[in-house]
Structure 1
Amino acid sequence: MKKKINIVTLGCSKNLVDSERLIKQLEVNGFSVVHDSNDTSAKVVVINTCGFIGDAKEESIDTILSFAHAKVSGKIRHLFVMGCLAERYKKNLQAEIPEVDDFFGVNNLEDIVKAIGGDLKSDLLGERSITTPNHYAYLKISEGCNWGCSYCAIPLIRGKHISVPMEDLVAEATTLANKGVKELLVIAQDSTYYGLDIYGKRKLGELLNRLSEVNGIEWIRLHYAYPTFFPDDVIAVLRNNPKVCSYLDIPFQHISDRVLKKMRRGINKEETYALINKLKQEVPDIAIRTTLLVGHPGESSADFEELKEFVRTVKFDRLGVFPYSEEENTFSAINFEDSISEEVKQNRVEEIMQIQSEIALQKNKERVGKTMRILIDRIEGDYYIARSEYDSPEVDQEVLIEVNGNAKIGHFYDVEIIDAEEFDLFAKFI
């Protein structure tokens, strides 16, 4: 009887890819693997942690403690912890949670496999067992980050930027397509830096075109594009390549020159607006998703008002906002006092999201009566839950269509939008 292992993944999609690679290695070693399961028949548990911001660290620690209690009570036999939190706080965690059998960082795949009782299959290092629905998968094109944003601990955890060779990514995309994947979600710590380290110049545009040539791939969606020195050829690809979605996830974080300088973003207000205007002019139907950070040390009321005006002016299609969380040994933690209260930070989050909800509702109302191509992700109750090319799974809005018994999950359809809410559209099949 195969030994069952439960892998629990916390944090971002980049962590998910790491878990999927581990799952593949364990499966070829003869283990039976479940993912994010509450099935207590799995006596071995591996938790892939996030250590990016305070809330994520708290969730990771709570999850570890929960499974540590399960181990003490005899429900599981072995508990391993990997990922960003373990990379950064291994010694502290070992001392505080001795119930964990061992801790592993972000680049210790071979050690984890051996600890569980397997052997690393080096010829399968590029392969994964995807945990997403069969029709879409994440494609991590690089690891680490060379930017030194003042608030961010990622370079301390993940190290410098390392691009995956283009031929390896095309091969991985081909394997995924052969398994039925139709949508690739391109991810990285900084996707626009891709290629600079191994090719001497940015190659993201070329990579996107190469990926679009993979038979079976119909949508390619770009995430985590750093705005500084944004490559012009990527704009051309967004405009001209029909398989590359008119969608861009580009975290601007702020607009005030004072705050951007403190954040060490390498871009200013004028350059930010110029880039957004260029994107909208050259790709008229583009959906721009951004992330904002409020409450950074030194963010004044005037700075925040400037940020609110930025949101009102640009009218982002999708937006997320987070309060500043002081991270040990980052530039901000060393050089600035975290003097803005948590209450003020949270109020600023809520103010931004209130503005965005009004913008989102207006944009959605403008979609009513129009035709869209959608991809069905799943069925919930009486509705197919689908997405347009303007929406990424998990983080963006969805299109709901009443179940008619004929449509299939993982297939594309044309629909007419018949109603709209702030963060959802309702449609009928054409």
Structure 2
Amino acid sequence: MDKKNLYISTIGCQMNVHDSEQMAALMEKEGYVCTDDVGQADLILLNTCSIREKAAQKVMSTLGRYRRLKTKKASLIIGVGGCVAQQLGERLLLKVPDLDLVFGTHNIHRLPEFISEIEKTGKKIVETSLSEKTPSLGILTPPRKSKVTAFVTIMQGCNNFCAYCVVPYLRGREESRPLEDILEEIAGLARSGVKEVTLLGQNVNSYGRSTKGATGFVELLSEIEKIEGIKRIRFTTSHPKDISDSLIEAFSQLGKLCKHIHLPVQSGSDRILSLMNRRYTKNDYLEKVEKLRRSCPEISISSDVIVGFPGETDGDFQETIDMMEEIRFDTLFSFKYSERQGTAALKMEGKVSEPLKKERLRILQSLQELHTLEKNKAMEGHIEQVLVEGFSKNCRSDVMGRTSTNKIVNFTGHGDLVGTIVPVRIKEAYLHSLRGEML
């Protein structure tokens, strides 16, 4: 089998990253070898995100660069997958005529079939059908050499229909993988040297709910806890309305469950939360945070916030700021509201101007930087257990790893430490990382 070069570019969340890993695994079986040099590629795959306009714009600009490569290599195949592909379908071919393949979120498993057909006939292919069952959920991705962490998809889709979000329309309704399949995959990862798994889903709290009599999310965590070789378990993402008392208690009861949760709040205003169709109030969220910190005092909490949602007043924005001051998140992912076709928010009145959205985002992010640095500074002098993931990007004499609370730590060390959990005293704290000394 002739070896061909595959270049994959990923835009979006951790689920998109894992989808790209699945694409690579499928195409490697067909004789393709992954390359970091797009100029050497025989096949380019762009895996896309459509949750915000900025991400969708990046897709078009990236494709513009790839089109120029095709003038130099006529045999080059360019394909687009993910949410932008799902959303635009045939229209994407009209926008970018040099594209060969557009495949949606439920059709990753058919990628080898599509590429083979294009290689034989030169025919352009568009496939964006959504199915009740998603075969790609079961595609196994062997870990890369020396990799000690891995993503594992436990479910796909969403039933929540938040007013700003296109995910339910592009990923379909909630579908959970069978418990046995997940455990088998993780056991295999453990045998290959993986020490930490991150469970992925649009709303992991809903795992198993769509299947009568199925195992729930906490039970899944308890079963993974038993797998020999796995040292740490993480998950993302959680919907606040669905986080249960049993999951909150799991942070103090399961020894392998990391002391970190990503819990998107989106706004501190009850009026805006209602318009967003989030189905919880600010007080509901605050109660969940209080329970989490009571169950696990050292837990770190990260969140998402959208500023400038239609109808957001200065008072609504101030409520978000006040909530941030009260909770003091460890980290925060914040964004300007972005109109997305097909969502309920598109028809709402009270649009916020771009300059005002930009200013609110600046204020919010400046405040969060203070909170993040405050949280990190509080760790100076403490001894943390760090899972070493590899060498530091900035210094080859340093290794880097993460604490259970998801803080990045750099310290002097050697390659033999990769995959081990070591005690590190935190010497200096910065905004995005910590500097430590191994004991």
Mark yes or no: TM-score above 0.5. Answer: yes
- The residue aligned with 2:248 is 235
Alignment of 1:3-402 (within 5 A): 3-34=4-35, 37-74=36-73, 77-117=76-116, 125-130=138-143, 134-200=147-213, 203-334=216-347, 336-337=348-349, 339-379=351-391, 380=393, 381=395, 382-391=397-406, 397-402=407-412
TM-score, normalised relative to structure 2: 0.91
**SS where residue 197 of structure 1 aligns?**
coil
What amino acid is aligned across from residue 113 of structure 1 in structure 2? P
RMSD: 2.1
Structure 1 residues 52-98: Cα deviation after superposition (integer angstroms, max 9, x where no partner)? 11111111121122111211232761111111100101122111111
**Structure-2 change in CA distance of 1:151 and 1:424 (3 Å):** same
**Structure-2 change in CA distance of 1:420 and 1:288 (3 Å):** same
Q: Tell me if 1:426 matches 2:422.
A: no
**Does structure 2 retain, via aligned residues, the 8 Å contact 1:72–1:99?**
no
**SS where residue 64 of structure 2 aligns?**
helix
Deviation, 1:111, is: 3.2
**Does structure 2 retain, via aligned residues, the 8 Å contact 1:26–1:113?**
yes
TM-score, normalised relative to structure 1: 0.92
> Following TM superposition, where does structure 1 have runs of at least 4 consecutive aligned residues deviating by more than 6 angstroms?
none
Mapped to 1, the partners of 2:138 and 2:176 lie a distance apart of: 15
**SS where residue 40 of structure 1 aligns?**
helix
**Structure-2 change in CA distance of 1:207 and 1:426 (3 Å):** same
- The residue aligned with 2:418 is 409
Structure 1 residues 241-290: Cα deviation after superposition (integer angstroms, max 9, x where no partner)? 11001111111111211000000000012211111111111111111111
Deviation, 1:129, is: 3.5
- The residue aligned with 1:394 is none
Range with greater deviation from structure 2 (377-386 or 105-114)? 377-386
**Structure-2 change in CA distance of 1:200 and 1:406 (3 Å):** closer
User: In the comparison of the two structures, how many residue pairs are matched?
Assistant: 419
Q: Could you tell me which runs of 5 or more consecutive residues in structure 1 were left unpaired when the two chains were aligned.
A: 392-396
**Does structure 1 retain, via aligned residues, the 8 Å contact 2:106–2:136?**
no
Mapped to 2, the partners of 1:421 and 1:65 lie a distance apart of: 37
**Does structure 1 retain, via aligned residues, the 8 Å contact 2:83–2:170?**
yes
Mapped to 2, the partners of 1:128 and 1:360 lie a distance apart of: 34
**SS where residue 323 of structure 2 aligns?**
helix
What amino acid is aligned across from residue 195 of structure 1 in structure 2? G
Deviation, 1:123, is: 11
Mapped to 2, the partners of 1:386 and 1:345 lie a distance apart of: 35
Range with greater deviation from structure 2 (23-32 or 268-277)? 23-32
Structure 1 residues 22-63: Cα deviation after superposition (integer angstroms, max 9, x where no partner)? 2222222333233xx224222111111111111111111211
**Does structure 2 retain, via aligned residues, the 8 Å contact 1:361–1:422?**
yes
What amino acid is aligned across from residue 9 of structure 1 in structure 2? T
What amino acid is aligned across from residue 234 of structure 2 in structure 1? R
Deviation, 1:125, is: 4.3
Range with greater deviation from structure 2 (202-211 or 184-193)? 202-211
Deviation, 1:107, is: 1.1
